[in-house]
Amino acid sequence: MIRINLAPPSTKKAGPSFSSESGINLGMVFGVLLVTLIAMLGGYWRTVSSEISRLNNDITRAEAEKTRLATVIAVGQRYKREKEELENRVNAIERIARDQARPVYLMDAMADVLPPDLWLSRIEEKGQQLRLAGTTYSALALSDFMTNLKGSGKFKDVDIVVSRQDIAKSPSLVTFEVTCKFEI
């Protein structure tokens, strides 16, 4: 048997070869790629490291600014509290000055409607509601008092709550309690 080999002679070396058929050494290519990759990772690490340093410096500056501004904020809050206290005081004074005339008008209106033989022993005011308590010698004076309250135009919703006459005593006194609303 005769064998004929038509393939060109092979130049095989012993062991693996990293070169291609075009004569490029693949080991060198991979080595250059590895060095390039390491250089790129080193550049990225350097960029990230400088960014971390910059951010740490920014944090340090921000903390210092925060500490400085904390005192300014505390002063501002103190001024705000003092302003609110002052406004509350001014409002209280204005409210007192505004409401100060009401008792004068009430006493003036009471002087106009009181019959001569009737005495008030207590006047209580809660909001617009008045409670008047007193004594008189007759139920007729109490009736005149209630009529005068209604007719004055300054007192609304006039109603008698209690009326007692003590006949055991001489002179017999009528004690009463009347509610109404005083409107200026």
Condensed to tens digits (0 to 9), the pLDDT of residues 57-100 reads 999 999 999 999 999 999 999 999 999 999 999 999 988 887 77
170 in Cβ contact with 149 (< 8 Å): no
3-class SS shares of the chain: helix, strand, coil, % to 5: 55, 20, 20
- H-state helical runs in 114-161: 139-152
Whole-number pLDDT of residue 57: 96
180 in Cβ contact with 132 (< 8 Å): yes
pLDDT of 129-166, one tens digit each? Answer: 999 999 998 889 999 999 999 999 999 999 999 999 88
CATH 3.30.1360.100 assigned to 114-182:
yes
- The two tokens of residue 104 are 């004068």
What amino acid occupies position 2? Answer: I
State yes or no: pLDDT of 20 exceeds 80. no
Whole-number pLDDT of residue 98: 78
* pLDDT band for position 52 (cuts 50, 70, 90): very high
Mean pLDDT within 30-41: 95
pTM of the shown model: 0.48
* pLDDT band for position 171 (cuts 50, 70, 90): confident
Q: Which of 25-29, 101-105, 125-129 has the lowest mean pLDDT?
A: 101-105
